[in-house]
């Protein structure tokens, strides 16, 4: 029976879950996979955490060198988070010929090319299923499940914190601030939630997933990013009345105009499968030219779901004779012939406060028409003396056209655009 020795760096939420699975299911892996997987060492400075998990004293190491130099260790699991220290640890392990499994999406998004180059040079594996969408096997699907397809579109809800917040706002009608505090109280949001609510976490994941889906490097710098901090309960209620639900959406598309990658709040039609993905759950919707539409759904974070993905990578590496690397030339910058579409196309939701007088709607339609923007749906309601609120859903248009139309309307004396949000038709 093949023996696999593992060292775990960091016993936080994910590292602790990984330790539990490996310890509790050793016999299961022997029976089902023909592997004897043992945790040989752990790097964790918190003695209380070691005791909580029941880690034997002889397995605790005080520095990365002890784990990397151990001849019984063939796989290093990195769960310490952050970038600089993690990068040094992972590079050290790869230089030593150890396979690395990581859940660190920021590390992969920023240093993937360097890490993979080092892994190849030392015949080591680099696996990161757990970096994207927790326990949902999206990386493995893109690498090993849909190879027959050209993927034209990847769209998903890939951050559980923001999805929980937006679900609370939708279902309970509460403000962003109230929903955020609820997320913090349940442990779904950090005390500093900016990585999630400002869209950074989703942008890291989209950079990785779009690269895999489109077989070309999609750097983080090419990802358009907008968070959910300015979303109001009024916008969510208006969208809901029109049959839409608001999500922090990650979108990757490939067309003749180039590759577009963007993370931002967007309304999704109520009959779209992504509309029913609520709470801290995640989902990714793929469109391939052969398979058509595919959606993967599950828990996007958490101790055991993410640890499940890590253990999956350990088993995959141990049961495959050759390591699997990128299907494209993985450099820091994209290939010169790859085009990126900055001026993407979308439908739009606009909420305006306008003067309640004859002819105003015609003036607004005229401004929109100058930028080739047409209206699909409209709601009008009173908003106080001499004012009313207009809510519009437009047909698809270019982002630049939408922004220019908003600027033009805001320069008038009869209309002010209160909100502009994208719509996934």
The answer to whether residues 66 and 41 touch, using CB atoms and an 8 Å cutoff, is yes
- Concerning whether 205 is annotated as a catalytic residue, the answer is yes
> Which of the residues 98, 205, 217, 222 is marked catalytic?
205
Active site residues: 205
């Amino acid at each position: 029976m093949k023996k696999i020795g593992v060292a775990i760096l960091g016993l936080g939420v994910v590292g602790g879950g990984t330790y539990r699975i490996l310890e509790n299911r050793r016999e299961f892996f022997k029976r089902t996979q023909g592997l004897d997987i043992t945790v040989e060492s752990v790097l964790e400075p918190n003695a209380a955490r070691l005791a909580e998990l029941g880690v034997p004293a002889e397995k605790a190491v005080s520095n990365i060198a002890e784990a990397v130099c151990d001849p019984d260790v063939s796989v290093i699991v990195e769960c310490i988070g952050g970038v600089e220290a993690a990068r040094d640890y992972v590079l050290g392990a790869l230089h030593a010929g150890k396979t690395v499994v990581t859940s660190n999406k920021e590390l992969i998004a920023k240093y993937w090319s360097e890490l993979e180059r080092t892994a190849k040079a030392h015949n080591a594996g680099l696996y990161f299923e757990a970096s994207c969408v927790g326990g949902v096997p999206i990386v493995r699907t893109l690498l090993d499940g849909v190879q027959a397809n050209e993927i034209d579109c990847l769209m998903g809800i890939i951050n559980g914190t923001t999805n929980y917040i937006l679900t609370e706002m939708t279902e309970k009608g509460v403000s962003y601030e109230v929903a955020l505090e609820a997320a913090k109280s349940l442990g779904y949001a950090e005390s500093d939630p900016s990585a999630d609510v400002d869209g950074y976490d989703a942008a890291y994941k989209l950079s990785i997933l779009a690269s895999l889906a489109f077989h070309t490097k999609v750097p983080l710098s090419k990802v358009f990013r907008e968070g959910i901090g300015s979303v109001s309960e009024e916008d969510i209620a208006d969208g809901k009345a029109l049959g839409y639900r608001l999500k922090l959406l990650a979108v990757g598309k490939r067309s003749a105009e180039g590759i577009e990658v963007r993370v931002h709040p967007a309304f999704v039609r109520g009959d779209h499968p992504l509309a029913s993905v609520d709470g801290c759950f995640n989902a990714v919707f793929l469109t391939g030219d052969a398979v058509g539409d595919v959606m993967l759904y599950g828990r996007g974070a958490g101790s055991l779901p993410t640890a499940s993905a890590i253990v999956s990578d350990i088993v995959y590496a141990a049961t495959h004779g050759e390591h699997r690397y990128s299907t494209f030339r993985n450099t820091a910058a994209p290939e010169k012939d790859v085009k990126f579409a900055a001026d993407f196309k979308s439908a739009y939701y606009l909420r305006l406060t306008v003067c309640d007088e004859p002819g105003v709607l015609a003036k607004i339609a005229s401004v929109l028409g100058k930028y080739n923007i047409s209206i699909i749906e409209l709601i009008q309601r009173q908003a106080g003396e001499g004012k009313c609120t207009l809510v519009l859903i437009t047909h698809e248009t270019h982002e630049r056209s939408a922004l220019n139309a908003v600027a033009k309307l805001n320069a008038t004396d009869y209309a002010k655009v209160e909100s502009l949000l994208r719509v996934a038709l």
